[in-house]
Amino acid sequence: MTETLAQVLREHAETQYAHELSALAEIDKRQRPPSWKLSPWAVMQYLMGGTLENGFEITPKYIGNRRIIEIAIATLTTDRALLLLGVPGTAKTWVSEHLSAAISLDSTLLVQGTAGMAEEQIRYGWNYARLIADGPSINALVSSPVMQAMRHGKIARIEELTRIPADVQDSLITILSEKTLPIPELGDEVQAVKGFNVIATANDRDKGVNDLSSALKRRFNTVVLPVPASIEEEVDIVARRTEALGRALELPAEPPALEEIRRVVTIFRELRNGTTLDGKNKLKSPSGSLSTAEAISVINNGLALAGHFGDGIIKAEDMASSIVGAVIKDPVQDAVVFREYLETVVKEREGWKDFYRALRNIS
Amino acid sequence: MAETKIFGIRHHGPGSAHSLVAALHQFKPDCVLIEGPPEGNSILPLVAEAGMSPPVALLIYAQDNPRQASYYPFAEFSPEWQAIKYAVTSGISCRFMDLPQSHWLALNTARLKKMQATGIVAPAQPEDFQLRPSIEAPGELEEANRETTEHQEIIDHLQAADNQDLKDLLAEQEQEQILKQRQELRERIKADPIGALAEAAGFSDGERWWEQIVEQRAAKSDSAVDHSVFDAIAEAMQVLRLELASEEDPDARAKTAKLEVSDDGSERIIFDEDIIMEPLREAHMRQTMRSAAKEFNRVAVVCGAWHTPALLNMPPAKEDSALLKGLPKQKVDATWIPWTHGRLSFASGYGAGVHSPGWYQHIFNNRENPVLTWLVKVAQLLRDEDLDASSAQVIDTLRLVEAVSAMRELAHPGLDELNEAIITVLCNGNNTPLALIRKKLIVGESLGQVPENTPGTPLERDLNQLQSKLRMKPEPIAKILELDLRKPLDLSRSELLNRLLILDIDWAEKQYIRGKSGTFHENWDLEWYPELSIRLIEAGIWGRTIEQAAAARAADVASRTNSLATLVDLLEKILEADLPDALNQVMTRINSEAAMAGDVIELMKAIPTLARVVRYGNVRGTDIGAVKSIIDGLITRVLIGLPAASQSLDDDAADSLQALITEVNAALLLLNSAEDLKAYRSVLAKLAEDAGLHGHISGKATRLLFEGRTLDELAAARMMQFALSRGSEPLYAGKWLEGFLSGSALVLIHDSRLWQLLDSWLLGLNQESFSELLPLLRRTFSTFTSPERRQIGERVRDTQPVAGEIMLTEEIEDNLNLERIRPPLNMVRFLLGLEPLPEAGKDGKGGSE
């Protein structure tokens, strides 16, 4: 979440934060699990940030609940794989990258899950020219990132696990339970070196996902990364990200006032949590995920509208249509939920008249 | 000189309970003194009786006013309970040694009176449900008062001050804030000093820390269990108390006194009760110890760890007796009542409670391997609920628990680690099952029992008083009680019976009265049976008077149910039982459930009751404003949701919905809010116009609009014609008519246009449709009153012959020999109540009259 997007080329975490990792390794005297480059304690320090005994400052990589990260790291020390679950924009990929960077000094053993993925990308493929020329041999084999991680006792990362077709997902079962990858064509196998493990990420509110089979589920420990805990935290994240993105997209509008961001984040939080911020009224939640990432895109959209068609200052009307678009995913159910929210909450809120009118005109 | 040993324990700590039992067996005392009210001494032997099973509470209450009371709950894992049990079963003497409740309650009364006199609290301050009444000696009161006025001066000053002063004052306030935080910390340490030590040592749970201390000690000494752990605790407490005392600053303490405005609007000064109470309590404990030391040889003293230093370092007896001299007294009674784990837990607002009684019970019973056995229990619970929980998962959970505890550098995993691992492994990251685990295992659902020969509870006493006051003797023979609610005595009787019903004590059953007398008559079937006494004892956990208990029970039911219908039902019961305390809580619940209810039908069902509350309920001093805002919210939601909810319904659903539409209409009329009514009618207009709806709904909507004069006769006729036109299915038309006509026929009788429309539609039906519709129409018409039916009949007779006669005579003249069919025809005419046909030839015009 803290990356700067203005950079065109993005460095890997282990390169960008190499100095922090080496400083940690230097003072880390605790026991390290086999093949780990740091002890679990040092990995924790790297993720959550802090000042070391020698005064070295570690920047926090994850802002949020410390206990969640503790469970995640502890999982990787056992023989179960780690599944990071959460709505978009909860820093799943970010955490997975930094965990593997800290544990294996290598965050590049990455498989990106897609709907059209085949088994080769998880297991192995063949270099056909060589296969035809020399016949089947280990040299003709093209190993997948997972296979490489097994050979070297590193962490393999699988992004968007639930987008992978179910039958391909299941090829992970042998790898995770037997810790071995058979190659029947050669009568051979690759056995995982100690230290090998898998971090997968998945989105639990995505539409059209392939649910994990219960056999596979049992091989993962699931850690849910929550949405930001407080409105201040979330406003802060949205403000920083929109500013960075606005610069990257070179939008002509002024960065939005914090007050506008707060209002959008308030709407998102209230509908997402099903209760008003003061905790006095319960609300129905719409079917969409209403993640922080969507709040960011609502504001960017508003900025673009204000910049290109308005006077460059973001107003309620500029954001209304994209708010409605983000909230109403199901045209029947969500519309009712949103109208109720408008009439019972937004209408009576002080200083929200313009928002109410703008939203009402659209929905 | 007798040997005295002091065992500082952690209240409700299973670890200290174990250590204590072991230590008692080793020490073999001939007298056990326990921190608790001496008034309970007389009923201590009941602990060993067969019918006694914890959790139970020792209840001390003022004889003349049962609302003044204190509860001392005990679970099986409470060290005090184990100590009592040890003493009672081994036949040695056992006594409570705390300051008698007779003094506490008397001090409390004195304080309350004083406060009322100075106008700090409203005279009718409701008694709190609390373990130990917070008490200040009368002398402290002025001081507190002075502090508040000083506070007010600061505020005044603030308003007058310029910016520089403002900054100073802000800094001052910040200072105050820090003081307050420190004070809170101190309170917490006092309440659970061992928990605080554990926290300082990095443990999430005091129990796990205790285990570790015991184990470390056991490793050092030869015997597996010895009481040296208690010496260690005493040492630690001595240091802790010294630390706290050194930073204690009397001025700072006084500053923390604050005026608190509680929910019910009453105000009072919150003050550190221990300033006055603690020396008194400890003095009394020491006095009891002194007298026990004279009588017995080996005295074991069981008290909260906090008090150990005060009991170890005995001051001269003179000082203590001087302190305790001249304390006010009040007559109190003591008894045992059943308690629940839920009430022990922190969640039910009982300050000195434990968060996780079920877990404590578990570690008390399974000392060897609490983690694994707990995981197995959790897995079994999940399996019972049809959730996936295999043994392999349990093993993996155990591994994760161990890995996390190692990372956190804990020697023993606590409940937090277990819960986190359970979510991650057993529940696949989903924390919904944890709520179930919390309810069933962590808190637990066990309910205690007390033996039959336990002295009567205040609730029984209260009921007896009410029974004699209201002249209603409990008799085992069924009889009927007729009440006229306009009489105050009968009204109180009805309220009492309704309150008992809320407590599940069905001494009386309400009869449904037909006909006469309106709403102020009630008939009840009275019958007292023995099980009711038991239920009365069980109800004791809810409060000390019938009124209080019923209110608490109703509030509890309200907090448990998610069904709007149940809540509204409950609301009605509460109104009948006149329980204003519970009312607000139920209203809040209704408000939040209404927001979540997706079902418009549910919302509509709630409206009529609430409307009645708004219209008639204000006699009881209900906050009508709150109800009004709830009902406004309900109406808004119904208006938005009703069109969608009326789509594609079957006959039964349409039937119940149209009834609700009518009831809501009546409720809105009752509320007399023109705006809502207008909005509702515009929704009805939509329903009336929508030909795709069930005929019943459209018909009803049209009827209501017509009655509300939104549609004039012409428009209503147009709608009817549209519904009955040939284009629509006869069945639809029949349903529409049912909706339109059901309830009252007056509209048909008085409006000839509608009459004629109906008439010609009926005549235009072919035989098949007619026989299909006949039952439906008959059902509709049967809902009319008999005078209405007669009027309709007369109208049929008056108009029908014209049409019938013409058809008949034409056919006769054209095709039939009139003379030959005259007798049967006349018979038919006789049956129909018509004149016989005129003789042929006599009148040439035939039947053209």
Tokens of A75: 């999982």
Q: What are residue A220's phi and psi, to 5 degrees?
A: -110, 145
Q: Of B319, B343, B361, which marks where a domain is finished?
A: B361
Cα(B104)–Cα(B101) distance, rounded to whole angstroms? 5
Q: Are residues A72 and A198 in the same domain?
A: yes
pLDDT of B543 reads 81
> What's the rounded mean pLDDT across residues A187-205?
90
> What's the rounded mean pLDDT across residues B294-318?
87
pLDDT of B238 reads 84
Q: Are residues A208 and A273 in the same domain?
A: no
Please enumerate in sequence order all residues whose Cβ is within 8 A of that of B326, keeping only pairs 6 or more positions apart, or say none: none
Sign of torsion over alpha carbons B497, B501, B504, B509:
positive
Task: Name the minimum distance, in Å, from the CA of A148 to any CA of chain B.
Answer: 26
pLDDT of B603 reads 84
Residue B273 has pLDDT above 60, yes or no: no
Tell me the chain B residues in contact with residue A70 when contact means C-beta distances shorter than 8 Å.
404, 407-408
Q: Are residues A358 and A282 in the same domain?
A: yes
> What is the per-residue pLDDT across B164-180, written as a single tens digit (0 to 9) for each?
555 666 677 777 777 77
Specify if A7 maps to a domain.
Answer: no
Confidence of residue B255 (pLDDT cuts 50, 70, 90): very low
> What is the per-residue pLDDT across B545-586, written as a single tens digit (0 to 9) for each?
888 889 888 888 888 888 888 888 888 888 878 887 788 788
Greater confidence (A263 vs B201) lies with A263
> What's the rounded mean pLDDT across residues B716-744?
77
Q: Of A224, A248, A280, which marks where a domain is finished?
A: A224
CB-CB under 8 Å, A336 with B641:
yes
Considering only alpha carbons, which residue of chain A is nearest residue B597?
Answer: A284
Q: Shortest CA distance to A261 belongs to which of A305, A325, A316?
A: A316
CB-CB under 8 Å, B595 with A75:
no
Residue A136, domain extent: 13-224
DSSP state of B48: G
Picking from A74, A218, A344, the nearest residue to B633 by CB comes out as A344
CB-CB under 8 Å, A44 with B407:
yes
Q: Are residues A286 and A214 in the same domain?
A: no
Q: Are residues B152 and B282 in the same domain?
A: yes
Q: Are residues A330 and A206 in the same domain?
A: no
By DSSP bridging, strand A141-143 and strand A124-126 are: antiparallel
Confidence of residue B517 (pLDDT cuts 50, 70, 90): very low
Specify if B520 maps to a domain.
Answer: no
CB-CB under 8 Å, B388 with A214:
yes
Q: Are residues B649 and B770 in the same domain?
A: yes
DSSP strands (E only) in B680-773: none
Q: Shortest CA distance to B419 belongs to which of B444, B401, B405?
A: B401
Q: Of B391, B412, B443, which marks where a domain is finished?
A: B443
Specify if A3 maps to a domain.
Answer: no
Q: Of A224, A248, A269, which marks where a domain is finished?
A: A224
**A112-120: long-range pairs with CB below 8 Å, 24+:** A112/A159, A112/A160, A113/A158, A113/A159, A113/A160, A113/A161, A113/A162, A113/A163, A113/A164, A114/A160, A114/A163, A114/A164, A115/A163, A115/A164, A115/A165, A117/A163, A117/A164, A117/A165, A117/A168, A118/A168, A119/A167, A119/A168, A119/A171, A120/A144
Of the ranges B77-86, B531-540, B571-580, the best mean pLDDT one = B77-86
Q: Are residues A92 and A209 in the same domain?
A: yes
Q: Are residues B74 and B179 in the same domain?
A: yes
- Annotate B374-390 with DSSP letters as a single string: HHHHHHHHHHHTT----
Beta bridge partners of B698: none
Considering only alpha carbons, which residue of chain A is nearest residue B390?
Answer: A218
Q: Of the given ranges (A112-116, A335-339, B347-351, B524-528), which has the lowest mean pLDDT?
A: B347-351
Task: Name the minimum distance, in Å, from the CA of A119 to any CA of chain B.
Answer: 25
> What's the rounded mean pLDDT across residues B144-156?
43
Q: Are residues B648 and B717 in the same domain?
A: yes
Q: Are residues A167 and A114 in the same domain?
A: yes
Considering only alpha carbons, which residue of chain B is nearest residue A85?
Answer: B429
> What is the per-residue pLDDT across B416-447, written as a single tens digit (0 to 9) for each?
889 999 999 988 888 888 888 988 888 887 77
Q: Best of A66, A75, A356 to disrupt the B interface by mutation (most B CBs within 10 Å)?
A: A75
Beta bridge partners of B6: B301
Q: Are residues A254 and A113 in the same domain?
A: no
CB-CB under 8 Å, B393 with A73:
no
Task: Name the minimum distance, in Å, from the CA of B480 to any CA of chain A.
Answer: 45
CB-CB under 8 Å, B425 with A221:
yes
CB-CB under 8 Å, A218 with B392:
yes
Q: How far is CA A95 from CA A1, A61, B157, in A?
A: 9, 8, 52
Residue B343, domain extent: 1-195+229-361
Tell me the chain A residues in contact with residue B408 when contact means C-beta distances shorter than 8 Å.
70
Q: Best of B404, B427, B592, B647 to disrupt the A interface by mutation (most A CBs within 10 Å)?
A: B404
Q: Shortest CA distance to B99 belongs to which of B77, B70, B128?
A: B70
Chain A residues with a Cβ under 8 Å from any Cβ in chain B = 40-41, 44, 67, 70-71, 73-75, 77-80, 83, 85, 204, 214, 217-218, 220-224, 274, 281-284, 332, 336, 339-340, 343-344
Greater confidence (B525 vs A196) lies with A196
Show the DSSP H helices in A123-180 as ranges: 128-134, 145-152, 166-169, 172-177
Nearest-Å Rg of the Cα atoms of chain A is 24
Considering only alpha carbons, which residue of chain A is nearest residue B389?
Answer: A218
Q: Report the first-to-last Cα separation within chain B, whole angstroms.
A: 129
B542 in Cβ contact with B531 (< 8 Å)? no
> What number of CA atoms fall less than 13 Å from residue B523's CA on the CB side?
11
Q: Are residues B338 and B383 in the same domain?
A: no
In chain B, the percentage of residues whose pLDDT exceeds 70 is: 78
Tell me the chain A residues in contact with residue B641 when contact means C-beta distances shorter than 8 Å.
336
Specify if B697 maps to a domain.
Answer: yes
Count how many pairs of residues, chain A against chain B, have C-beta atoms within 8 Å: 86
The model scores a pTM over 0.80: no
Question: ∠B376-B381-B384 over CA atoms, to 5°?
Answer: 125
Q: Are residues B769 and B831 in the same domain?
A: no
Q: Are residues B340 and B383 in the same domain?
A: no
Q: How far is CA A124 from CA A119, A156, A171, A179, A190, in A?
A: 8, 14, 11, 15, 11
Chain B residues with a Cβ under 8 Å from any Cβ in chain A = 388, 390, 392-393, 396, 399-400, 403-404, 406-408, 416, 420-421, 423-425, 427-431, 591-593, 595-596, 598, 633, 636-637, 640-641, 644
pLDDT of B353 reads 64
Q: Are residues A67 and A193 in the same domain?
A: yes
Picking from A74, A222, A283, the nearest residue to B595 by CB comes out as A283
DSSP state of A163: G
> What's the rounded mean pLDDT across residues B723-738?
77
- Domain harbouring A94, CATH code: 3.40.50.300
Q: Are residues B76 and B159 in the same domain?
A: yes
In this structure, the dihedral spanned by the alpha carbons of residues B234, B239, B245 and B248, taken in order and rounded to 10 degrees, is -130
Tell me the chain B residues in contact with residue A336 when contact means C-beta distances shorter than 8 Å.
640-641, 644
Q: Can you say how many angstroms the Cα of residue A107 is from the centroid of all Cα atoms in its chain?
A: 15
Of the ranges B82-91, B154-163, B243-252, the best mean pLDDT one = B82-91
Q: Are residues A39 and A92 in the same domain?
A: yes
Specify if A1 maps to a domain.
Answer: no
Q: Are residues B357 and B414 in the same domain?
A: no
Q: Are residues A38 and A184 in the same domain?
A: yes
pLDDT of A223 reads 92
Beta bridge partners of B70: B60
In this structure, the dihedral spanned by the alpha carbons of residues A229, A235, A238 and A242, taken in order and rounded to 10 degrees, is -170
Tell me the chain B residues in contact with residue A79 when contact means C-beta distances shorter than 8 Å.
399
Task: Name the minimum distance, in Å, from the CA of A306 to any CA of chain B.
Answer: 33
CB-CB under 8 Å, A339 with B640:
yes
Specify if B291 maps to a domain.
Answer: yes
Q: Of B414, B443, B472, which marks where a domain is finished?
A: B443
> What's the rounded mean pLDDT across residues A132-157?
92
Tell me the chain B residues in contact with residue A85 when contact means C-beta distances shorter than 8 Å.
429
> What is the per-residue pLDDT across B31-58, written as a single tens digit (0 to 9) for each?
999 988 888 888 888 888 888 888 888 8
Q: Are residues A17 and A166 in the same domain?
A: yes
CB count within 10 Å of CB A222 equals 24
Q: Are residues B179 and B120 in the same domain?
A: yes
Cα(B26)–Cα(B47) distance, rounded to whole angstroms? 22
Cα(A285)–Cα(A270) distance, rounded to whole angstroms? 8
Specify if B588 maps to a domain.
Answer: no
Please enumerate in sequence order all residues whose Cβ is within 8 A of that of B782, keeping only pairs 6 or more positions apart, or say none: none
Specify if B486 maps to a domain.
Answer: no
Split into its structural domains, chain B has a count of 4
Residue A362 has pLDDT above 60, yes or no: yes
Split into its structural domains, chain A has a count of 2
- Annotate B565-614 with DSSP letters as a single string: HHHHHHHHHHHHHT-HHHHHHHHHHHHHHHHH---HHHHHHHHHHHHHHH
Specify if A165 maps to a domain.
Answer: yes
Task: Name the minimum distance, in Å, from the CA of B584 to any CA of chain A.
Answer: 14
Q: Best of B395, B416, B425, B584 to disrupt the A interface by mutation (most A CBs within 10 Å)?
A: B425
pLDDT of B816 reads 60
Tell me the chain B residues in contact with residue A74 when contact means C-beta distances shorter than 8 Å.
400, 403-404, 406-407
> What's the rounded mean pLDDT across residues B632-660?
84
Q: Are residues B351 and B408 in the same domain?
A: no
Q: Are residues B718 and B780 in the same domain?
A: yes
**Which residue do the tokens 């006013």 mark?**
B65
CB-CB under 8 Å, B421 with A71:
yes
Considering only alpha carbons, which residue of chain B is nearest residue A75?
Answer: B400
Q: Of A198, A224, A250, which marks where a domain is finished?
A: A224
B537 in Cβ contact with B338 (< 8 Å)? yes
